[in-house]
């Protein structure tokens, strides 16, 4: 079974902390994405990557950065966490061949206090 | 810019009733469209792609380019269909395949 794995299901961090959210996929997908999911707002794209060391801003990149040093791993970094970054964060991946849709991880519920 | 609109935040029906979840999109090229479903406490799962023209769990969706719509339909709703449904659009070949999601429709099927 293909997998996108997000390292933490729940995280609680303090305001101002640097936070790392990790995502690993085992499908050799070129494209990886980070979304945040908020009630009434749906999924909003933060960053995406179409290759190792490549990254592109999505719709709401402010306050976030990403890292893709290996094909299978895509990390989301909150440089200085703030309470308005409390959210569910979803990672997704897809192959360039587009044989299937986007595969999602189970999400990380981040609470910033 | 591409945009996906799901006009209903909430759709409430009784078991056995027909269901239609609406999705309209705006995109000048040839879109690739999806429906995703998220059951309570589970990850988003692909339900349908317009390319495959499958019927999954009794759901179907037809791309109407004239009306720029991709509505999701099921003739007889079941309680286990209660979930959050998201319509998504991805650019056609030549683009960077960035998926844009609608805000979602919560479907509640009452017994």
The boundaries of the domain holding residue B16 are: 3-110
Task: Say yes or no for a CB contact (<8 Å) between A40 and B9.
Answer: yes
Please name the member of A40, A94, A106 whose beta carbon is closest to the beta carbon of B97: A94
Give me the number of domains chain A comprises: 1
Residue B104 C-alpha, separation from nearest chain A C-alpha, in angstroms: 6
DSSP 8-class letter at B51: T
pLDDT for the residue A1: 66
How would residue A71 be classed by pLDDT, with cut points 50, 70 and 90?
Answer: very high
Give me the number of domains chain B comprises: 1
- pLDDT 10s digits, B21-62: 999 998 877 788 999 999 998 999 999 988 777 778 999 998
Q: What is the mean pLDDT of residues A47-65?
A: 93
Does residue A109 or residue A8 have the better pLDDT?
A: A109
Kindly report the CATH number assigned to the domain that includes residue A47: 2.60.40.10
Does residue B2 or residue B48 have the better pLDDT?
A: B48
pLDDT for the residue B82: 98
Please name the member of B86, B96, B98 whose beta carbon is closest to the beta carbon of A42: B86
Kindly report the CATH number assigned to the domain that includes residue B38: 2.60.40.10
* Residue B109 scores a pLDDT above 60: yes
Quick one: which H or E segment has residue B2?
A: none
For chain A, give the secondary structure using H, E and C. Answer: CCCEEECCCEEEECCCCCEEEEEEECCCCCEEEEEEEECCCEEEEEEEECCCCCCEECCCCCCEEEEEEECCEEEEEECCCCHHHCEEEEEEEECCCCCCCCEECCCEEEEEC
- Closest residue in A to B5 (Cα) is A42
Q: What is the mean pLDDT of residues A70-83?
A: 97
Structure tokens at A11: 């995280």
The boundaries of the domain holding residue A78 are: 4-112
pLDDT above 90: percentage of residues in chain A = 80
Task: Say yes or no for a CB contact (<8 Å) between B43 and A107.
Answer: yes
The residues pairing with B86 across neighbouring beta strands, listed in sequence order, are B36
* Residue B94 scores a pLDDT above 60: no
């Amino acid at each position: 079974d293909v997998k996108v794995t997000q390292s933490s299901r729940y995280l609680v961090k303090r305001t101002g902390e640097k936070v790392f959210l990790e995502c690993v996929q085992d499908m050799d997908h070129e494209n990886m994405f980070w979304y945040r999911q908020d009630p009434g707002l749906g999924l909003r794209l933060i960053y995406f990557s179409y290759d190792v060391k490549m990254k592109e801003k999505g719709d709401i990149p402010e306050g976030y950065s990403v890292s893709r040093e290996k094909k299978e791993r895509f990390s989301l970094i909150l440089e200085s966490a703030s309470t308005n970054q409390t959210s569910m964060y979803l990672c997704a991946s897809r192959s360039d061949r587009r044989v299937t849709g986007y595969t999602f991880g189970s999400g990380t519920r981040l609470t910033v206090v | 810019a591409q945009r996906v609109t799901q006009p209903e935040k909430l759709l409430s029906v009784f078991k056995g009733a027909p269901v239609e979840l609406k999705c309209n999109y705006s995109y000048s090229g040839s879109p690739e469209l999806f429906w995703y479903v998220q059951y309570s406490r589970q990850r988003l799962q692909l339900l349908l792609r317009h390319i495959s023209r499958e019927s999954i769990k009794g759901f179907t969706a037809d791309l109407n380019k004239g009306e720029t719509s991709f509505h999701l339909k099921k003739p007889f709703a079941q309680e286990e269909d209660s979930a959050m449904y998201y319509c998504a659009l991805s650019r056609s070949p030549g683009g960077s395949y960035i998926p844009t999601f609608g805000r979602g429709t919560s479907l509640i099927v009452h017994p």
